Amino acid sequence: MRELRAEALVIGGGAAGTYAALCLHRQGVAPLVISKGLVGKSGASIFAGNLVISGRVLGNTEENARDTAEFLIKYHNQFLIDQEYAKRCGQWIAEVYYPELEEAGLYLRRDDAGNVVTSPGRLRSVAANVQGNSGVPFMDLRRKQLIRAGIPMLEEVVVTALLQAESGEVCGVLALDIASGEIFCVRAKAVVLATGYADRLHRRSTGTREMSADGIALGWRAGAELVNLEMQWWHTNDVRYPANWQRMQVYPNPMLGSWKSARNVNAKGEVFFDQQEDDPLAFGPYTVQLKRLVKQVREGKARYDGDYYSGFDHVDPAEVDAYTTYAKLFKQLGLDVGRDLVETAVSAHYRQGGLLVDPATMASTVPGLFVAGGVGGHSNGLIALVTYDGKVAADSVAQHVRDRPYASLPPHKAEEEAKRLQGLLKPGATPPVRVKKMIRELMWNDMGVEKNEAGMRRALEGLQEIRAAVLPAMGVTNLTKIMNHGWLDAIDAVNMVEACELMVHSALNRTESRGPFIRTDYPEMDNESWLAQNILVPTADGGFRFEKRPYATPYFQPEFVRKDNLAVQW
C-alpha cells in the first residue's frame, strides 16, 4: 500500500477545508487536501446564495450589527452556540473576511454607480456576482487560490478511516481513489476534518451527492464525542417533483435591492409566510417558515411532501431578475417562479450537530483531530462562519505540528481497513444505491419534520435491521475498480447506517422541542433542561452514554423558560 505524507491533512474541499489549507500554507505548514468530490465543486459551500454582512461594514448601523448577532444566536442556532465564538466570528468577518476575499478578486455585486448592492432590512446581505449563485464564484476562487499556491489536492478521493497511533492520537488516514480504485494511506501530524454537514440522509435533502455523514462516522469510530446530532434543519421551499428532486429551491431569503421575498401559499390559496413582512429578523427563515408550515399541515392545508406553493407571484419579475438567479433556475422545465407559484415540499437541510469541538481551538475530543465547518457541532454554519473555523483550525494545527515528529502508522489498522473496503467490492443481493435509498426512506418516514418516540424507535429498529440483514447481503454488480460508484455507495451506506442510528439516539435523548427539532411528545422548548449540549460519549464497550452541558448566555437570552415551541417566534 502506498503511503503519502503531509504535515497537515485536510479532509474536505468546501469553504472550511480550502480556507484551512490556505491558512496552513501561509503559516508555512504543508497541507494536503483530500476531497471526496471535486474541490470547490462539491459540498454545501457552492450553494451559498448570499453572504450575510456582520459588524459595521457597508453602512451597517450598530443596530444592524446587533440584529445580525441576534439572528445568528437565536434564529439560526436556537441558542445552541457558544456566544463568545459567535462574537469572535462576527468581528473577524467584518475585519478580515470581506477585505481578504475582495482583494483576492471576489466580485461583490455593485450597481452602475459603484455601490455594493445589499438586501435592505434589519439584516443585510450581499452577493458574489449574483444572488443565489454566490457560492459558485466564491468556491471557484478558493479552488484557484489553492492551485495557485501549489497546495496539493487529491480529488474524488474518499477518506474512509482515521488512523490512530497507540496513544490514540490521529496520525493519518486511509483513502480510496474513486477514479483508479487505489487504496492508500496518508501519514500526517494532524488532521483537519472538514467534511461538511451530514446531509442526504433523507429521501429529499439538500447537500451534494457525495454527502453521507462520513465525518460523523469517521469521527465516532475514532472515539470522538458528538453533540446535538438531532438538530436537523429543513428547507421548506423546495420544488416538489420528482420525488428525488435535487434541491431546486425557491429562495425565501430577502432579495438584493428589493423589499420583497418569496412567499408561501397553502392548498387553500392562503398566504402563510412572507419573510420580509412576517419577520424581518428571520433572515434565513427556515425555522419560522417551518413552524408556519407545521400549522398548515395540522390544519390539512398542506403536506410535507407537497400541496403548498412558493414563488414570487406578488413581485415585479424585473425586481426578481435584477440581482438574483431565482427566476432562472427552472426555466428549462417551463417553470417560472419569478412569475408563478410552483408546488413545493420539504427537504432535509443541514444538520447543526456534529463532532464536539472546543470552538476556541477547533480541537475535537480526539488528540490530533481538528474540525472545521459543518461537520462540527459547535454552530449551524454559514459560509463565513465555516471559513472562520478553517482559520482557527489552521492556527491550532500550526501550533500542534510544530516540532512534532510523524507518529508511525499502525500497519495492521491500515490493512484491516483496506480489507474492509475490498470486502465491500463483492457481488451481492442488494445494490448499495438501493440500500442508501432504503435508509433515506426510513429516515424520511420516521425522522421527518414531526417526530415522536414511537416513530423514532421504529426508525432504530429499521436501521438495526438494515445493519444486520441488508448490509451483509449488499453487493455491487460490477467488480471494476475504475470509477465504481457502486463500491463508493457501499462505503457510504455503512457510514449512513452508523450515523443515522446515532442521530436517532440523540433525538430520543433530547426530550423537548427546539426550533426545527419538533417532537409531538415533547412540544415545549425547555430552556431549563435543554439549553444544553446533548453529547454522545463513546464508551469502552463500544456503546455510548449521554452527557449534558449547559450553554452560557452572556449576550442574548431566551425570553422564557418553557414555552410551546410552535409559539416561539424564532
Partner 1 sequence: MVSLDARRIGQLENRDTLEAKLGALREGDMIKAQVRRFSPGEQPYYETFEVPYQKWMRVLDVLIYISEELDSDLSYRWYCGSKMCGTCALRVNGREILACWAAAEPEMTIEPLRNLPVIRDLTVDRRPYEKRFLELEPWIHRDEPYPGFPEPLTHREMRFTSKALDCISCAACYSACPVVGLGDLTRFCGPAPLVQLGQAALDPRDSRERSQELIEQASIFSCVSCYRCEEVCPASIPIVSKVIEPLKALAYRTARKKPRHPQTFLGIIRRRGRIDPSELVLRVQGLRALARLRWAVSLLIRRKVNPWATVFGRPIPGIASVRRLFRTFLRTS
Ligand X SMILES: Cc1cc2nc3c(=O)[nH]c(=O)nc-3n(C[C@H](O)[C@H](O)[C@H](O)COP(=O)(O)OP(=O)(O)OC[C@H]3O[C@@H](n4cnc5c(N)ncnc54)[C@H](O)[C@@H]3O)c2cc1C
Contact (Cβ atoms closer than 8 angstroms) between residue 390 and residue 15 = yes
Binding mask 147-186 for partner 1 (x = CB under 8 A): xx------------------------------x-------
Binding mask 215-254 for ligand X (x = CB under 6 A): --------------------------------x-------
The only residue of 150, 423, 482, 545 in contact with partner 1, by rule CB under 8 A: 482
Sheet holding 341-351, edge to edge: 232-239, 341-351, 308-311, 263-265, 271-274
Write down the least CB distance from residue 395 to partner 1, Å: 22
The only residue of 3, 84, 111, 299 in contact with partner 1, by rule CB under 8 A: 111
Q: Select 244 or 408, whichever has its Cβ closest to partner 1.
A: 244
Residues composing the chain: 570
**Could you tell me how many helices (H) and strands (E) the chain has, helices first?**
15, 22
Of 123-131, 357-365, 463-471, 515-523: span binding partner 1 (CB under 8 A)? 123-131
Q: Which does 16 bind (CB under 5 to 8 A by kind): ligand X, partner 1, none?
A: ligand X
Distance CA 81, CA 97 (A): 21
What is the distance, to the nearest Å, from the Cα of residue 101 to the centroid of all Cα atoms in its chain?
Answer: 22
Distance CA 550, CA 565 (A): 19
The only residue of 210, 489, 498, 526 in contact with ligand X, by rule CB under 6 A: 210
Strands 354-355 and 226-227: antiparallel
Binding mask 348-387 for ligand X (x = CB under 6 A): --x----------------------xx------xxxx-x-
Binding mask 11-50 for partner 1 (x = CB under 8 A): --------------------------xx--xx---xx---
Write down the least CB distance from residue 220 to ligand X, Å: 13
Hey, what's the cell of 269?
A: 390559496
Q: Which does 58 bind (CB under 5 to 8 A by kind): ligand X, partner 1, none?
A: partner 1
Contact (Cβ atoms closer than 8 angstroms) between residue 424 and residue 488 = no
Our finding on whether 444 is near partner 1 (CB under 8 A) is: no
Our finding on whether 253 is near partner 1 (CB under 8 A) is: no
Distance CA 456, CA 328 (A): 39
Of 2-10, 416-424, 433-441, 550-558: span binding partner 1 (CB under 8 A)? 433-441
Say which amino acid occupies 367. Answer: P
Q: Which does 34 bind (CB under 5 to 8 A by kind): ligand X, partner 1, none?
A: ligand X
- SS3 of 70-115: the string is HHHHHHCCCCCCCHHHHHHHHHHHHHHHHHHHHHHCCCECECCCCC
Write down the least CB distance from residue 158 to ligand X, Å: 5
Write down the least CB distance from residue 34 to partner 1, Å: 16
Helix ranges restricted to H, 383-484: 383-401, 411-424, 432-446, 453-465, 471-473
Q: Select 214 or 489, whichever has its Cβ closest to ligand X.
A: 214
The only residue of 120, 152, 410, 431 in contact with partner 1, by rule CB under 8 A: 431
Q: Which does 377 bind (CB under 5 to 8 A by kind): partner 1, ligand X, none?
A: none
Binding mask 33-52 for ligand X (x = CB under 6 A): -xxxx----xxxx-xxxxxx
Write down the least CB distance from residue 71 to partner 1, Å: 22
Beta bridge partners of 264: 273, 310
> Which pairs from 549-557 meet CB under 8 Å and 24+ separation?
551/79, 551/80, 551/81, 551/82, 551/83, 552/82, 552/83, 552/84, 553/79, 553/83, 554/83, 554/84, 555/69, 555/73, 555/83, 555/87, 556/69, 556/70, 556/73, 556/74, 556/79, 556/83
Contact (Cβ atoms closer than 8 angstroms) between residue 520 and residue 297 = no
Our finding on whether 105 is near partner 1 (CB under 8 A) is: yes
Distance CA 50, CA 127 (A): 5
Phi first, then psi: what are they for 325, rounded to 5°?
-95, 0
Residue 176 DSSP SS3: strand
Binding mask 291-330 for ligand X (x = CB under 6 A): ----------------------------------------
Of 4-12, 432-440, 515-523, 551-559: span binding partner 1 (CB under 8 A)? 432-440
Say which amino acid occupies 203. Answer: R
Query: Which residues lie near ligand X (CB under 6 A)?
Result: 11-17, 34-37, 42-45, 47-52, 158-159, 194-196, 206-207, 210, 214, 247, 350, 373-374, 381-384, 386
